[in-house]
Each structure stands twice: as C-alpha cells, then as structure tokens.
Amino acid sequence: MIDDTTIGGSSSKFPPTRRSAIVASGSSQPEERQQALEKIAAAYWKPVYKFIRLKWSQSNEDAKDLTQAFFTRALEKQFFTDYRPEKASFRTFIRTCVTRFVINESKYANRLKRGGDAQNVPLETAEDVCGENLQEVFEKEWIRTLFTLAVEDLRSLCLTKGKRLHFELFERYDLEHCELAYAQLAAKFEIAPTDVTNYLAWCRREFRRLLLDRIRELTVDAAEFRREARLVLGETDDYLR
C-alpha cells in the first residue's frame, strides 16, 4: 500500500526535463505505466484520500482502502489516458474519476449486501468542510503534497552532492522559520555569513526547480504547466520561462 504520510522552459515548447506521468500512464510498456502511476499517486494519494474521507464520511481505514483500490484500478483500466487539459484541470478530472469509482464500488457493495456478504458504502456526501468546499480542500492538499515531495527531492539532491549543510540551513531557516539573523546562523554552523547567503540561495533555486519538475510531471503540455505553476507559486509567465 502507498504510504499515507511521502525551470520553466520556452513558452512555445513543453520543457523536456521530465516526461509527463499522465502521458506515460497510457504507455504500451507495463513498467512505464507502473512508474507513471506511482508518480501520479505520490502527488494525489493524500488529496484523494482526504476527498473520499470527507465527501463520503469514511473511516480512516476505509478511506485508505478505497484510495488504494482507486489507484490500482486506475493502473488496470488506464483511467488517465482520457484526460483532456482543454476541458478541465487534472485535479478536476481525477476527482471525477474518484467519484465515479466510489459510486460504482457502492453499487457493488450494495449487491453484495443483499447477499449478506458485505456492508454498504454510504453515499451521503458533504460539499463543504469548515467553510471550504471540497475542491479547495483537494487543491490545498495537492499543493501541500507537492511541496513535501520537492523538499524530499532537495534533501536527496543535497546528500548526493555532498551539500548536507546547505539543506540543514534551508531546513532551519526556510522550513522551520528560524528567526536567527544570517550572522547568528553563520556562527552556529561555523561558516562565514556569505556562505549562509550563498547556501540558502542555492537551495531556494534548486527547490524551485525541483518543484516545477514535479508540476511538469503532472501536466501534459506547456499551457497546462504554466497554469499549474502559477497556481502553486503565484508567479507570472515571465518567471516560468
């Protein structure tokens, strides 16, 4: 079971750094389809889980089981090959797929229930949670997951490149919102203040690149990539070139 925990480019050409996982999910190669589904699930497992749990008032374990079942079925049936970015965002598309999946599972459970073999999956739904609609909840959870994945990507990159101290500074100052001045951080880590400036600048630049790479994997063309990057980073096209 998947754990329930884990720049730019020309405006006229989709950046080729990472292939779209959505496109790869329809590959004729089973291994490539599996890898693509894992990338999509890494970004969408928590949003889907939360959506199922809140919309259908599912327990923690039932929501996990339905989420896992959804991604398993998505791989088997290649759900995501039907996605068309000109019609809706992938987030809207995947929520639609999840809704259809849960409804179908409920119908199946009802048939079994009549045979005495299983309990019904309740279809009572909630569209608002604490003043937020489920679309907003889904979107915020997706963005939060993307940032978490990019932080882990940066951690791995720093370890690979022998820049552990770079990441420790980034984690302390940017992630934990440390209130120490650069000079104080320099004294604490026994480096020059200019090193603090340079190390943080490098980490922030690489973090942004890695975050955009994650977004690129979850979009199918340049226009969608720019829309999603603006949503996540709040930046204009000029900064995404």
Given this model, what pLDDT does residue 156 score? 98
| DSSP code string of 163-213 | -HHHHHHHIIIIIS-----HHHHHHHHTS-HHHHHHHHHHHHHHHHHHHHH
C-alpha 15/C-alpha 159 separation (Å) is 26
- Do the Cβ atoms of 27 and 12 come closer than 8 Å? no
Given this model, what pLDDT does residue 240 score? 54
Beta strand 132-133 pairing with 128-129: antiparallel
193-229 pLDDT, tens per residue? 999 999 999 999 999 999 999 999 999 999 999 999 9
- Would the pTM count as exceeding 0.85? no
Residue spans of the chain under pLDDT 50? 1-17, 117-123
C-alpha 94/C-alpha 103 separation (Å) is 14
Cα 204 from chain centre: 19
13: DSSP letter: S
Given this model, what pLDDT does residue 231 score? 95
Given this model, what pLDDT does residue 187 score? 96
In single-letter form, the type of residue at position 113 comes to K
Given this model, what pLDDT does residue 13 score? 43
The strand pairing partners of 129, in sequence order, are: 132
Given this model, what pLDDT does residue 121 score? 46
| DSSP code string of 71-121 | HHHHHHHTGGGG--TTTS-HHHHHHHHHHHHHHHHHHHHHHHHHTTSS---
Given this model, what pLDDT does residue 150 score? 98
Given this model, what pLDDT does residue 211 score? 97
Domain ranges of the chain: 21-240
- Do the Cβ atoms of 26 and 169 come closer than 8 Å? no
Given this model, what pLDDT does residue 106 score? 82
SS3 of 128-146: the string is EECCEEHHHHHHHHHHHHH
